[in-house]
Each structure stands twice: as structure tokens, then as C-alpha cells.
Structure 1
């Protein structure tokens, strides 16, 4: 089956979080419409860090029944945030190939996007063209499905009641931090 993955990041202290929202193509339009409808007037995108607690609860209540799951990749930032990210991106690339993802979309970090592209190409190796994996970076306002990864990463990092509330959307947690 062909799946799509939408990826965003977060950081909590020395832990880097990379969240990948995995979506079936049949759900893309419905989820985009739902997310667009959750914006406030004149709001270009949902960014969970900027929302009030009441809005966060409202957004989560609307989103948790959705047919989507979000995998979280955790890495230690002590040796640098970019290094932690690239370790997560390499593992994510392997995992999405196994899951049947054919489109991988990252929230753009502009000039730093090239780091991801190099890591993905390296992870794919010589078989890059044969995998059928299409990957790209987009600004978060260009695809509302990137907001799902942002929401789940924020809630996971916040912990407590926010982690409890986001559980229906949670997939696997891949912890790559050294013990």
C-alpha cells in the first residue's frame, strides 16, 4: 500500500524529536480540510507552541479521531542538534521504506534542508531510484498535514496530560538516545 509521511521536529532540553505523521492517500483530502477548518481567522497555519491551552485542547479533540498515526524518533542533542536530526532522518528513511511510504514531506528548514537530502540519499544508497520514494521539503503553511507532526511532537515533548491527550494519534516511539 502507498502511504504518505509528513515530518516535523521539536526539541526538549537535550532530546531531539522528529515526528512523522503517516497518512493513507484516501485520507489526505479529508484531513487537510479538517486542519484548515481548525485555523482561526487570518491564521496561516497551526503551530502548537503558539496556541493557547484551550485551543490546543480543541484542536486535539477534533484531530484524535482521525485516521492517522504519528511515529516519534528521539535522539540526544549533546553532540549537536543537526547530528541528532540526521540520525533520526536516516532511521526514519529506513522505516518509511519498510512501511510502504512513497511520499515523504518535511517541514522546510530552508538552507538546512540540504542536510536532510544528503542523509536520505545516503540511506537509500545505490537503489535510490528503485525505491519509488519521493521526498521534498515544504514550508508548513503549504501543507496542513505537516501540522499533525508538529502537534504530536509538541504534546509528546510536553508530557503529562498533553501526552495522554495525544495517545490516540501515537504510533511507535523509536528511542535512539544512548542509555
Structure 2
């Protein structure tokens, strides 16, 4: 009998100029508690979340170093925003969900965008189609203050989008890069 691991995925977005990035950290269930604890140790006094855009450069380097040692696998999906940011997001989400189902992800957590979450729900439901009812795949939106594992995607998305030395530092965590402007499926 072959046993399969039910992977979990945590998604955040980033936008740099005309590029939209949707980033997903894929986590083995055996690592969920350990990674949450690690991430909470990276909070500075008074912080409720790691939000990389707001971190000082020195603290950013510490965070990246600690994440690099625990090695979560992260995928980056990107697309230009010429047709609008929401369209870019939903096209990235379609490709991502197809990939996540294929690798055995059973739980998807997206960083909530509150009033715009319904777009994601509609897209995921459409991608799953008839498989939705019989699939073990579940998805939900959470605030990043509620789920520390969303911070991994935030860190990678910010660094990847910043380019230069920040991108170089984060690339060891990136297992897959999909540019939907050049992607053929």
C-alpha cells in the first residue's frame, strides 16, 4: 500500500510595477507546528505578523536566513497586469490550483483580501469543477495575523519582486517559477 502525504499550501500576493506575483508555500503536515513556532520567534516586540515590506533590512536578512535553514518549498506564479490586477491574480490562481491538486495538496489557505475573496472562491470552484464534491481539496481565506505560515509566501513574494540581492537570497526556497505570459501549460 502506498501512503501519500496530504500537503498544505499557503498563498500571498505581491505586485511590483506591472508584474503580479502569486506565491505559494507548500508545507508537509509534519512541519506545520514546527514552522509556525519558528515564524512566531521572528516577531519583534509588538508585532502581530511578519510583513516583509515593513521590516528593517537587518531583520529581513535574519528572517531569510532562518527560513533558508528550514527549507519550505515555494512556487512563484506571475503575470503582467496590463489587463488588470484581478485578471492577473485569477489566471495565476488557476495555474496554481491545477499544480497543487497534481502534487497532492489537500488544504489551500489564501491571505484574505476581504471583499475580493469571492473572486478566488469562484475561480477555485471552477478549476475543481465536478471534482470539487469528491475531492479532499479544501480552501479558505485567513488573515495573515491568524496564520503565520502565510508569512512565508509574503517574504518570498517581496524578495522575488524586489529583484537584485533580495531575489538572489530567496531563490534557494523557490522550487518552481511560472510566468503565465510565456507559459504554455
- Tell me the TM-score normalized by structure 2: 0.94
Tell me the residue number matched to 1:73.
77
Structure 2: state its 5+ residue gaps.
Answer: none
Aligned mate of 2:8, from 4, 8, 11: 4
- Tell me the TM-score normalized by structure 1: 0.98
d(CA) in 1 for partners of 2:45 and 2:74? 27
> 1:111 aligned to 2:121?
no
- Equivalent runs, 1:1-179 vs 2, <5 Å: 1-178=5-182
d(CA) in 2 for partners of 1:170 and 1:65? 13
The superposition leaves residues 98-139 of structure 1 with CA deviations (integer Å, 9 ceiling, x where unpaired) of: 010000000000010000000000001111122210100000
1:44 counterpart SS class: coil
RMSD, aligned CA: 1.0
Are the counterparts in 2 of residues 15 and 74 from structure 1 also a CA contact under 8 Å?
yes
2:109 counterpart SS class: strand
1:142 counterpart SS class: coil
Structure 1: state its 5+ residue gaps.
Answer: none
Aligned length: 179
Q: 1:178: Cα distance to partner?
A: 4.8
The superposition leaves residues 137-174 of structure 1 with CA deviations (integer Å, 9 ceiling, x where unpaired) of: 00001000000000000010011111111122111001
